[in-house]
Amino acid sequence: MNQRMQLSSEEWGKFYNLSMLSELVSSIEREELLWQTKEMMKLTSAGDKVLEIGSGTGATSIYLALKNRICTALDYALPCLVLTSRAASRLKCPVRTVFSDATKELPFQDNEFDFVFQAGLLEHFHKEQRINLLRNWGRVGKCMVSIIPNAASLAYRAGKAMMEQDGTWEYGLELPQFTLYDEFAEAGFKVTSEYTIGEKHALEFLPKEHPLRQVLSWWVSNNICGDNCGQGYLLVTVGVKR
């Protein structure tokens, strides 16, 4: 696979489909939450209308719905939405699923949602495309949240580079960023906060015995800086429309 090409909807559907149903439901029941799920729980409140763009398994939307958010999951890979719908049904929580291409005009009203977020989508596009996407999505929501891979994460960057070199990287074009301040500003948003999360998860991109993983694991475990020094796997950018 060419690591510099975007994956198609069919290729994403091979990652997220009904074969994952039991595992997905069980992980949500056990509250084994993704980093982005934990973060969206902190940022949102019961009763908020939340749109997830590029929802994948839908795990975050489902958990938010279980915690009384009003959730809509949008994806252009039908197997993803089927998985989300079936998992939500098993867990007896309402999640609206919408089959739509996030690069096109979204089928929603202006300011329909309190929060619009994506976790793991914008990094598959170049800068001008990211700006256009944010501008397009901004029409339907009041607050924008982006959660993408962090270019400053040494463990993630080194591990990704190693996998690209040996041909085991499966996710096509992925462009981690140091910041999205410029993209948010050009799309019409004022950034209210930007930070990184998931420094422990970043270590998983490296082999267990890799020297960099051992050093960073020691550093994380001992909280040397008192914070994560921007080494979280994910960059979180939160903004409101100007």
For residues 60 and 71, give the distance between their C-alpha atoms in angstroms, rounded to a whole number.
9
Task: Provide the token pair at 241.
Answer: 């429309």
Indicate whether 52 pLDDT > 90.
Answer: yes
The share of the chain scoring above pLDDT 90, in percent, equals 87
The one-letter code for the residue type at 10 is E
Question: Mind listing the pLDDT tens digit for each residue in 178-194?
Answer: 999 999 999 999 999 99
Q: Using 50, 70 and 90 to split pLDDT, how confident is the model at 1?
A: very low
Give the homologous superfamily in CATH for domain 9-148+173-199+229-241.
Vaccinia Virus protein VP39 (3.40.50.150)
Domain map (residue ranges) of the chain: 9-148+173-199+229-241
- Going by C-alpha positions, the residue among 66, 62, 133, 121 that lies closest to residue 96 is 62
Indicate whether 63 pLDDT > 90.
Answer: yes
Average pLDDT of the residues in 101-127: 97
Strands (E), the chain: 49-53, 70-75, 95-99, 113-119, 141-149, 189-197, 234-241
With b for 16 or more beta-carbon neighbours within 10 A and e for fewer, the 115-127 pattern comes to bbbbbbbbbbbee
Q: Using 50, 70 and 90 to split pLDDT, how confident is the model at 2?
A: very low
- In whole numbers, what is the pLDDT of the chain averaged over residues? 94
